[in-house]
Amino acid sequence: MTATDTPETTDVLVVGSGIAGCSAALAAARAGAEVLLLTKAERPDDASTDWAQGGISTTRGDPAALKEDIIAASDDTADPDAVDVLIETADEAVEDVLIDTLGIEFDETAAGELDYTREAAHSERRILHVDAATGTHILRPFLNHVDDHERIEVRQDTAALELITHEGRVHGVVSDEDATGTPIYAGTTILATGGIGALYSRSTNPDDATGDGIAMAALAGADVADLEFVQFHPTAYAGETPFLLSEALRGEGALLRNAHGERFMPDYHPDAELGPRDVVARAVEAEREATGEVVLDVSPLEFSDEFPGIAKTCRDRGIDGDEIPVAPCEHFLCGGVAVDDRGRTSLDRLYAVGECARTGVHGANRLASTSLLEGLVWGLRAGEDAATAGAEPEIVEAPDLRNRDPDLPERFAAEKFTRLQRTMDEFLGLERDPDEIARAGAVLRRLKGEVDAYIRTRTARDLYELRNASVVALLIARAAGENPESVGCHSVVEDEPAPEQTAND
């Protein structure tokens, strides 16, 4: 920007284009604000929402039962007040936005009633779905709707690199629209940047889930919480390039078997295949290690009729028959930027919603099909609050992102990313050993130091994504190291000490 340029301003700036970002933009625009929705995504499927399979939970008229299930799945760690916000707003939000505004046609039974499905750790059938491709069917009309809205501008393929802050208050972001970074000033800024799947080599998220919002907020001094609770989905395809095999399959009767053909889940949890996700994921891994393989047996279902989308993916990948090899795979971060019941962070004028936020709803382990719902509910609440907060854009000094150093080694970001993923896979996966967490912290600190040497020398998106991933990876390592208690997704195990040698050995 030159001295004569007028900086760009907006009332509400939303960063991210999944269900949480779209909901925030919609609510802010409905409340009268001019909204700019910035997204690094180029296509809908760059957002995790588009990949969501199972569905979106409702209370189906029994909020107390949903609350009980959420809290039980979280190992009694979910915040009951946050869960109350979710269950009290859930059905109205689904009805208003998804059904009345977007016209989403959720699957129906032959009798023309809504077809509620069930997933693990739900005591009731209460999940609305469209085949097992619910995210796609929600996100695409939602993006079209916000794009058509007269008070919302959607700007794709544009990443936020840094928050603009001044005296503890957030005034917008610097985007990567030109080589030295472009400041965009906003009355309020809402982060809806999604999860962290790219920190692991196997994930059910798109590749660009690099924890951007969490990193930018943490670097600006915002509180973060519960970052050790990285949720692994028990049933992703075990081969190369994993894809999700929705929990709805088990909800409808699919079974898990080990390499001996034995059904093992009844030995691990009274609800067997429908036990909490963290329990099932660890059991699948244990049986893979003990017997060599775990498969999802879909023979109890009419697989192709009931789940045509997943069945087609299997056929396209050359997976024939009723037994699909599965393994756990990174799926969702339960923690994130700490927010209140309206998505407000600890920094003035900064909000966070969706997977990058920690509302308290998920505690240490998220119940299936509550992530789209949380994104919808908190997105709407934050959007409305941000629009009515009475905050005007203020022009303050923005971080100076100059292009200074032409000598960044080629493939630098890709190679460091591989090292980061290896560290996360090895030391911060399903089970964590305290010594290994400490080792991971040391490796990640070194890696972040190497990345920091290049940050602010250029606005290359892949470099900022690597910076963001290394910040969040370190925060995860730190949170894991500070929590010695096994709870939910955070399972602490001490490696067996090597047997002592005796004189006779």
Residues designated catalytic:
277
Q: How far is CA 192 from the centre of its chain?
A: 10
> Which of 371, 25, 67, 431 shows the shortest CA–CA distance to 191?
25
Backbone angles phi, psi at 281, to 5 degrees: -60, -45
Kind and range of the H or E run holding 15: strand 8-15
CB 374 to ligand SIN: min, Å: 10
Q: Torsion angle of alpha carbons 248, 250, 251, 252, nearest 10°?
A: 90
| Closest distance to ligand SIN from the beta carbon of 165 (Å) | 33
Whether the Cβ atoms of residue 16 and residue 192 lie closer than 8 Å to each other: yes
Residue among 125 and 446 whose Cβ is closer to ligand SIN: 125
> Nearest to ligand SIN by Cβ — which residue?
54
Length of the chain: 505
Residue 118 or 461: the one with the smaller Cβ distance to ligand SIN is: 118
CB of 314 to ligand SIN, least distance (A): 15
Q: Which is nearer to ligand SIN, 378 or 427 (CB)?
A: 378
Cβ distance to ligand SIN smaller for residue 144 or 304: 304
Nearest residue to 380 via CA among 18, 26, 2:
26
Least spacing, CB of residue 492 vs ligand SIN, in Å: 24
Footprint on this chain of ligand SIN (rule: CB under 6 A): 53-54, 244, 246-248, 368-369, 371
Work out how close the CB of 204 gets to ligand SIN at its nearest, in angstroms, rounded to a whole number.
8
3-state DSSP call for residue 448? helix
Other beta carbons within 10 angstroms of residue 169's beta carbon come to 15
Q: Which is nearer to ligand SIN, 247 or 385 (CB)?
A: 247
Residue whose tokens read 């190291």? 481
Q: In which region does residue 34 sit, left (phi positive, over 0), alpha (psi from -120 to 50) or beta (all else)?
A: beta
Q: Are 18 and 200 in contact (CB under 8 A)?
A: no
